[in-house]
Structure 1
């Protein structure tokens, strides 16, 4: 079964049947693909993801993608005009993470509510429903956004853990071993990873990657250094690791980010 309802600035689609499409793009539209049942196999930027219920990917305008689902799977697609989303993002549209997490049950309930409301509009202005969808998406995007790299983590009464953050700030462009950080914190490896995540909200590895990506964004904006040079100077093991970390965090390749954000 397929259900689809559209306005000039919004498209809501649900598939509850076997479905497969071919690689394509959407000029001027953002798309969120949210599995609500089973598995959605989605390919984007030549990388294939097996998305489980609630785990979704954001497709930006002109991102080539395609997906397929089986007869017992279900997926909801929300497409929203680029200008409508940009009006809500306060200039931060490029900072939305491509990986998003939804409550599949809530998405299904909201989908029914939105489509019912749009069917009742009967040709009148659907702006109220569009605004409701936009508010829900933007709230979710912000909830899924990592803490800004370099921001002060939650304060800890443990001075040794505070020393870990200071050490990372000073050495994040170099290889850092978890065991080294655990020894600074005077904790076992396992206990350190747990307490660090409680303090920062993310793992030590993720925290270091955030710092590197934020510094990479700065260098891409302000210098003409090559991507390879930036990658090596920030401690990435190889350029491909840098590309993966950068795209996962920013939703753009380093070259795309530089083109859209180069400081004058």
Structure 2
């Protein structure tokens, strides 16, 4: 079995795979100070709940946008699973795709792995919208090459900035508004409209501009933990795959095995 680990700025997601079939997924808050032993105590209990022996884990692959977390995950793989950690973009786990931007080494591992996962499933040009701590919108061409993209503040970052820098605005939960009205009649509704429909408008506008610049039909794929918030907005995305990054890691691990 494969253990895929996606380290984001907010959460670390662990996923168990049999080949490319996802079996289980677990999430823990990102903390670069978390030791391998702490990971192990938490993870072993979850594996036991699934009825999986740790000896069944034959490979572990990781993508991370938090470099400080890598050391403890490497120790976790070596000490508790007796395997060498595969790191996305390094050695046998090299991405194997063209990164056609000014500074290829600056591309986040999650975005490269998203490109791998999406290109495996969808044909032609792709626009990948990843809702994480930041929201990224990336163009992948029909050959699977990464061509560039956009970085915008994430939904929760936007809300944190709004609440943290105003004296009287309350903390609200982000959800789809009850109606499509964009005229709120109380403070909470007005904030939700601004955050939710404002974000929809931003995504729609940026996708429209990116499609025009690409000049060819492009399939829009959404991923990330908050993508599901927008699943009812018809025409916004062609597909939603919350596990795109993890699935891309599973594909990358499979390719690494044959290199």
Q: TM-score, normalized by length of structure 1?
A: 0.24
Question: Highest Rg: 1 or 2?
Answer: 1
Q: TM-score, normalized by length of structure 2?
A: 0.25
Higher relative contact order (CA 8 A, sep 6+): 2
Of Structure 1 and Structure 2, the greater helix share is in: 1
